[in-house]
């Protein structure tokens, strides 16, 4: 009986004290360091890292292969064009574009023009990749699920390209001094360089559509007013992300399995061209064959693209006689030199110089500099980009020396070489120019044709069938051989 009375007294005392305990319950159980509001500086680094990393992975898995920088000796489906629907690019970019949209909304709400300008540049870049890879895609209604738009319409590539160019122009006009930008993994908050990136990207995309639209006035307006529309003036302006030596900010391939890395080898298309030009960049793009190293006479040798599994493994006596891809794009990426070479790519000074060389040669712009000047400047910068000394006589070599009659082929070839490991940009540019010659491998399964687009993700057939079918009806069959608008 005594124990029962003691228990009742204890319960009563607890009930009496309960209000006092609960009064500060929320305060005591709230982490004062927890993030309750998303801010632009928290969103920006994730947007940049996710988008750039995806393009590194696209370079490795498909971009280098289709443009015949590399070839495969095992699991050769990509090299034979058994691509499936390549939905990884679609999912990554649209997921990331949701964060871009949130960054854009936050920056508009807070009148943060520099964050707004950067978000417009990233949006334009991501949509350019999507439309150049697939053609017509969801655009103005995309990333608006919270507004109830769950089946966004696909818009024509022409409409999307106009939107991309408008975003970049607006970004250039918004970016300026005064507002500090935090979380910038490319320029460390230097908005003057973002402004240059916006206008340099405009020149890339204007050239991209130049076979479909008259872009002379727009290109000239940029180049004639460097104060209002500055562009890259040196490699210091490169739109690239430098990786670090430690996780999670290492070059994405650093953690790849050795066996997976060894599946990818130097393509004979690139290897033979570099050898013919006596071009030392081959030492970065590839490794000497194991057999030649063992013999004490290192040399580089590629493998043709598009061979079947047996033929690829047996080529030239086997893997020991075929060069792996460059070590600086793998375990060497965390070395001092690797950090300077293996970068995440959006746009570079050397690419801009090749753009200007082509534009001047075609009469798209009036410039105080010749096409030859821009061409040779692009080559010099491309050597610097991969930390290789250009031979003193390289610009005079047969196959390199500028001449007016073959200028476009020369420009296109050097641009192709320089775009090694640049995402899908080399493929996009080849589809426009046809330079250099790219032929489907002998064992390809695409009727002897090099693909000119990705197929739409299968998930769209379930999630957004009406919009998808409308796009296919307008654009053409949903296969690898249907040309996009600017490539018709």
> 193-207: per-residue pLDDT in tens?
999 999 999 999 999
In the prediction, which pLDDT does 145 show?
85
pLDDT band at 17 (very low <50, low <70, confident <90, very high): very low
The answer to whether the CB of 324 falls within 8 A of the CB of 264 is: yes
CA separation for the pair 130, 152 (Å, rounded): 15
Asked whether the predicted pLDDT for residue 15 surpasses 70, the reply is: no
In the prediction, which pLDDT does 146 show?
85
CA separation for the pair 32, 282 (Å, rounded): 54
145-154: average pLDDT: 92
In the prediction, which pLDDT does 24 show?
54
270-292: average pLDDT: 98
- Angle, helices 191-208/157-174, rounded to nearest 10 degrees: 160
Asked whether the predicted pLDDT for residue 34 surpasses 50, the reply is: no
Kindly state the tokens that stand for 37: 């509001």
CA separation for the pair 452, 134 (Å, rounded): 9
Where are the alpha helices (H) located in 263-335, listed in sequence order? 268-276, 282-285, 290-294, 309-314
Mapped onto helix, strand or coil, the DSSP state of residue 303 is strand
pLDDT band at 38 (very low <50, low <70, confident <90, very high): confident
Q: Which fold has domain 40-230+455-487?
A: 1.25.40
For 412-454, the pLDDT digits (tens) are: 999 999 999 999 999 999 999 999 999 999 999 999 999 999 9
82-103: average pLDDT: 96
Asked whether the predicted pLDDT for residue 321 surpasses 60, the reply is: yes
366-390: average pLDDT: 97
Mean pLDDT of the chain: 93
pTM above 0.95, yes or no: no
72-89: average pLDDT: 95
Mapped onto helix, strand or coil, the DSSP state of residue 72 is strand
In the prediction, which pLDDT does 7 show?
42
Distance of CA 222 to the CA centre of its chain: 24
Q: Spell out the domain ranges in the chain.
A: 40-230+455-487, 253-338
Q: What percent of the chain has pLDDT over 70?
A: 92
74-102: average pLDDT: 96
Looking up tokens 């330079």, which residue turns up?
435
Higher-pLDDT residue of 234, 38 = 234
């Amino acid at each position: 009986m005594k124990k029962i009375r003691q228990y009742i007294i204890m319960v009563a005392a607890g009930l009496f004290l309960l209000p006092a305990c609960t009064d500060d319950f929320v305060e005591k159980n709230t982490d004062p360091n927890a993030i309750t509001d998303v801010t632009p500086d928290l969103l920006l680094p994730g947007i940049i890292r996710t988008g750039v990393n995806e393009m590194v992975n696209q370079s490795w898995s498909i971009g280098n292969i289709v443009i015949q920088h590399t070839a495969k000796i095992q699991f050769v489906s990509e090299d034979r064009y058994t691509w499936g629907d390549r939905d990884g690019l679609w999912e990554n970019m649209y997921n990331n574009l949701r964060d871009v949209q949130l960054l854009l909304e936050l920056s508009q709400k807070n009148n943060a023009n520099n964050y707004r300008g950067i978000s417009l540049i990233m949006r334009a870049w991501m949509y350019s990749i999507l439309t150049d890879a697939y053609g017509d895609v969801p655009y103005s209604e995309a990333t608006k699920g919270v507004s109830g738009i769950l089946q966004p319409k696909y818009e024509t590539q022409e409409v999307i390209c106009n939107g991309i160019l408008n975003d970049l122009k607006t970004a250039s006009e918004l970016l300026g001094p005064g507002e500090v930008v935090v979380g910038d993994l490319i320029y460390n908050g230097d908005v003057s360089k973002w402004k240059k990136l916006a206008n340099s990207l405009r020149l890339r995309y204007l050239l991209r559509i130049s076979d479909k639209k008259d872009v002379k006035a727009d290109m000239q307006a940029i180049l004639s007013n460097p104060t209002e529309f500055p562009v890259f003036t040196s490699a210091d302006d490169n739109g690239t992300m430098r990786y670090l030596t430690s996780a999670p900010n290492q070059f994405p391939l650093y953690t790849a399995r050795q066996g997976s890395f060894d599946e990818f080898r130097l393509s004979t298309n690139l290897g033979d061209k570099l050898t013919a030009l006596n071009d030392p960049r081959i030492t970065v793009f590839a490794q000497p064959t194991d057999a030649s190293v063992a013999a004490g006479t290192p040399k580089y040798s590629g493998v043709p693209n598009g061979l079947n599994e047996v033929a690829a493994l047996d080529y030239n006596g086997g893997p020991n006689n075929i060069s792996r891809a460059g070590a600086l794009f793998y375990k060497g990426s965390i070395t001092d030199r690797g950090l300077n070479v293996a970068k995440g790519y959006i746009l570079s000074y050397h690419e801009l110089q090749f753009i200007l060389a082509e534009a001047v040669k075609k009469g798209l712009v009036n410039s105080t500099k010749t096409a030859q000047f821009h061409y040779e400047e692009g080559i010099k910068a491309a050597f610097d980009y991969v930390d290789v000394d250009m031979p003193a006589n390289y610009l005079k070599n047969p196959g390199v020396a500028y001449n007016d009659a073959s200028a476009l082929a020369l420009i296109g070839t050097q641009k192709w070489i320089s775009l090694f490991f640049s995402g899908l940009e080399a493929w996009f540019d080849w589809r426009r120019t046809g330079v250099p010659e790219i032929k489907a491998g002998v064992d390809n399964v695409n009727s002897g044709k090099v693909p000119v687009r990705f197929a739409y993700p299968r998930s769209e057939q379930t999630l957004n069938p009406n919009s998808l079918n409308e796009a296919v009806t307008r654009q053409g069959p949903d296969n690898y051989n249907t040309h996009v608008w600017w490539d018709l």
